Amino acid sequence: MKMQPHRGQITPLHLVVIALSFSVTFTIWQYTKHQTEIKVQQRFEASRDRIVGLIENRMARYEDALWAGVSAMDSQGGDMTLEQWRLFTEKMRIGDKYPGINGIGVIHYLRPDMLDAYLDARGIERDVFQIFPDHDSDHMMPISFIEPEAANSAAIGLDIAHETNRRNAALASRDTGYAQITGPIVLVQDASSTPGFLFYAPIYKEGPLDTLEQRRASFSGTVYAPFVVNRLMDGLLAKHLRHVSVSISDADEVIYDEHLTAEDLHDDNPMFAEQVTLDLYGRQWRLDIRTNLAFRHNNSDMQPVLFLIAGVLIEVLVIALIIMMARTNKKAVAYAEKVTDALRSEKEKLVKSNVELEQFAYVISHDLKTPIRGIAGLADMLKEDLEDYCSSKDANPEVTTAIDLIHDRVQRMNDLTSGILEFSCIRETYGKDSPLELTDFITSMIADLDLEPDQLVLDTPVQTLTTDTINLRRVLENLIGNAVKYHDGRTPLRIRVCVEDKGDTFAFSVADNGPGIDVRYHKKIFEMFQTLRTCDTPESTGIGLAVVKKSVELHGGRVEIISHPGEGATFSFHWPRNATAPPRESTAA
């Protein structure tokens, strides 16, 4: 005797339902979480690129201002007086047009034989002009003018040749012909002694300037601008308007730092951080960019959590469904045992069939379908709650797809329960059904399946059958329905139903021109919940052929299949002529 499952035991079908539910929940949560992470990262990258772009663009504007000063010097024959320089800078409106800049000035390049003439020219412009500090270099590079002068008066007369950083960048601009900046320095006019730098553009006398020697021979000084890095960054974009903080290093020396814990928006554990290297006018600046608390506040998306909560609710319903199924199964087994004890003298087959039909039908219609409808209702609520989001232009189409997937799986669960109900209802119905007119049956199948008359053809001299036609119709409907469902469309659909009178039995065959079935699967396809469905074929419960097999075997026969891939399939079986003459096993086609 076949062993019965333990009362309340979780069956493979239960595990499939649980796994499917977990899979849907996990997929939706992971997908929305991943999409949210991508969006947040893109926002960080946009903020990062904005900071980098602002620095590059602002430095390019400052460079333009320097070259404008060089052009002004050239227009005056290669040099200017203090009054001319002041007039030029007033027209430039340095403070308004170039925020973050400390000023703009002129540095003259002097050899020892040029010093007296230079001092005479400066003496005409000012009561007192002094070059400082003393040094041993063979040339001088004093700051002659700088505007606005009031804020930068401490720098007037400073000989930048006295200090390596200032001198090397100025000489680099001379030798290359390009604008250059210094390494980190402290400006003499900066009372706070914070890191700064100088920005140079070279001034030349008349050319040519094709070679290094020619540029050195023609070099007369630079137009320059001093910068305090703190002021430069304040001029770029105020901290409270940014969602990232930045520190800047030059040659391993930090010249600007917003990562200090004292900052109001400092985040000890930033969501994103990245280092960017900028090649700027002969120097390399390394930018350490990190998200701050404003970024965290504006990018705390709860959508993945909402989906996870919804998924958990679905899981609760699924688990409740499984528990109800297990309890119902326990009740069904107990009831079956009770009936078995009372009717032990009856045939075991009749008892088993009655128990399956009456008790399992109760399980399906009452204990299973109600929770399934509950899951479907929850999916509808989710779709309704997310309707505004799904219809927005920024909506992720995969969200709608995932919710639709829940609907599809609920429908599959409903189909499974219906198929199980059908399977449980298979029993002999001799004398309880009406005769089956084969021609009328085929005509109704053509109409029901929306086929053309030449797509489903009956080939038989037999017209009427009267033995258990309820189950016979069920067998034929499943075989014909499968042939239609799994036809691959490569050739026009053709199904042929043949019936031969064998005396005590009728030999049936249903042949199609579909994709065929590999010999390896000829037994597997008749098992419960087994299907050869691929991703491009319709959903299947895997119950139809099990129904066919059970119905035929109930009448003493067996179903056989002849099929190879690409050659269609032919299913054949024998059916008894009447209730008193069931077919012998040896007569199966």
**For position 565, which CATH number holds?**
3.30.565.10
Report if residue 46 sits inside a domain: no
Banded pLDDT at 467 (limits 50, 70, 90): confident
Report if residue 580 sits inside a domain: yes
pLDDT at residue 91 greater than cutoff 80: yes
Tell me the mean pLDDT in the region 126-144: 94
Q: Number of helices and strands (H, E) in the chain? A: 17, 16
Report if residue 264 sits inside a domain: yes
As a whole number of angstroms, the distance between CA 80 and CA 87 comes to: 11
As a whole number of angstroms, the distance between CA 505 and CA 437 comes to: 17
Report if residue 71 sits inside a domain: no
**For position 110, which CATH number holds?**
3.30.450.350
Asked if residue 376 and residue 267 are part of one domain, the reply reads: no
Mean pLDDT of the chain: 82
Asked if residue 185 and residue 84 are part of one domain, the reply reads: yes
CA 122 to chain centre: 68
As a whole number of angstroms, the distance between CA 442 and CA 465 comes to: 14
Tell me the mean pLDDT in the region 263-287: 93
Percent of the chain with pLDDT over 70: 79
As a whole number of angstroms, the distance between CA 467 and CA 434 comes to: 9
pLDDT at residue 25 greater than cutoff 70: yes
Tens digit of each residue's pLDDT (9 = 90 or more) over 142-191: 999 999 999 999 999 999 999 999 999 999 999 999 999 999 999 998 88
As a whole number of angstroms, the distance between CA 435 and CA 8 comes to: 42
Q: What is the pLDDT of residue 584?
A: 44
pLDDT at residue 418 greater than cutoff 60: no
Asked if residue 254 and residue 316 are part of one domain, the reply reads: no
pLDDT at residue 254 greater than cutoff 80: yes
Return the exposure string of 511-535: e unless at least 16 CB atoms fall within 10 Å of the residue's CB, then b.
Answer: bbbbbbbeeeeeeebbebebbeeee
Asked if residue 502 and residue 417 are part of one domain, the reply reads: no
Tell me the mean pLDDT in the region 549-571: 88
pLDDT at residue 141 greater than cutoff 80: yes
Q: What is the pLDDT of residue 110?
A: 96
Asked if residue 364 and residue 339 are part of one domain, the reply reads: yes
Q: What is the pLDDT of residue 455?
A: 92
Report if residue 392 sits inside a domain: yes
Q: What is the pLDDT of residue 521?
A: 80
Answer whether 52's CB lies under 8 Å from 277's CB. Answer: no
Asked if residue 87 and residue 229 are part of one domain, the reply reads: yes
Select, from the ranges 85-89, 134-138, 237-241, 399-403, the one with the highest average predicted confidence (pLDDT): 85-89
Smallest Cα–Cα separation from 285: which of 275, 274, 272? 275
Smallest Cα–Cα separation from 115: which of 98, 95, 96, 130? 130
Asked if residue 537 and residue 410 are part of one domain, the reply reads: no
Q: What is the pLDDT of residue 346?
A: 61
Tell me the mean pLDDT in the region 296-303: 74
Banded pLDDT at 198 (limits 50, 70, 90): very high
* Domain end residue (candidates: 376, 403, 424): 424
As a whole number of angstroms, the distance between CA 389 and CA 396 comes to: 9
Banded pLDDT at 399 (limits 50, 70, 90): confident
Q: What is the pLDDT of residue 586?
A: 38
Asked if residue 208 and residue 136 are part of one domain, the reply reads: yes
Prior bond to 538 cis, omega within 30? no
3-state helix, strand, coil in the chain (%, to 5): 50, 15, 30
Q: What is the pLDDT of residue 401?
A: 76
Asked if residue 472 and residue 374 are part of one domain, the reply reads: no
Asked if residue 246 and residue 191 are part of one domain, the reply reads: no
- Lowest mean pLDDT of 185-194, 203-212, 386-395, 470-479, name the range: 386-395
| This model's pTM is above 0.85 | no
Q: Is the dihedral of CA 380, 386, 391, 396 positive or negative?
A: negative
Q: What is the pLDDT of residue 347?
A: 61
- Lowest mean pLDDT of 7-16, 55-64, 119-128, 182-191, name the range: 7-16
- Lowest mean pLDDT of 20-34, 504-518, 564-578, name the range: 20-34
Q: What is the pLDDT of residue 191?
A: 87
Tell me the mean pLDDT in the region 489-517: 91
User: With helix as H, strand as E and coil as C, how does 234-278 read?
Assistant: HHHCCHHHCCEEEEEEECCEEEEECCCCCCCCCCCCCCCEEEEEE
Tell me the mean pLDDT in the region 193-207: 93
**Structural domain range at position 270:** 241-298
* Domain end residue (candidates: 217, 234, 251): 234
Q: Domain count for the chain, please give it.
A: 4
Dihedral angle over CA of 78, 81, 84, 85, nearest 10 = 80
Banded pLDDT at 580 (limits 50, 70, 90): very low
Smallest Cα–Cα separation from 78: which of 204, 170, 178, 173? 204
Q: Is the dihedral of CA 179, 183, 187, 193 positive or negative?
A: positive
Report if residue 3 sits inside a domain: no
Tens digit of each residue's pLDDT (9 = 90 or more) over 348-369: 665 566 556 555 555 554 566 6
The pair of structure tokens assigned to 446 is 């053509």
DSSP symbol at 503: S
Q: Residue 150: in which H helix or E strand, if any? A: helix 149-152
Maximum C-alpha span of the chain: 138
Asked if residue 216 and residue 186 are part of one domain, the reply reads: yes
* Domain end residue (candidates: 204, 234, 264): 234
Spatial neighbors of 539 by CB under 8 A, at least 6 apart, are 408, 412, 415, 533
Report if residue 98 sits inside a domain: yes
pLDDT at residue 420 greater than cutoff 60: no
Asked if residue 212 and residue 290 are part of one domain, the reply reads: no
Report if residue 394 sits inside a domain: yes
pLDDT at residue 539 greater than cutoff 60: no
Smallest Cα–Cα separation from 171: which of 187, 156, 182, 184? 182
Q: Residue 560: in which H helix or E strand, if any? A: strand 560-563
Smallest Cα–Cα separation from 200: which of 172, 233, 241, 230? 172
Tens digit of each residue's pLDDT (9 = 90 or more) over 425-440: 555 555 566 788 999 9
More confident residue, 347 or 11: 11
Select, from the ranges 212-226, 259-273, 312-326, the one with the highest average predicted confidence (pLDDT): 212-226
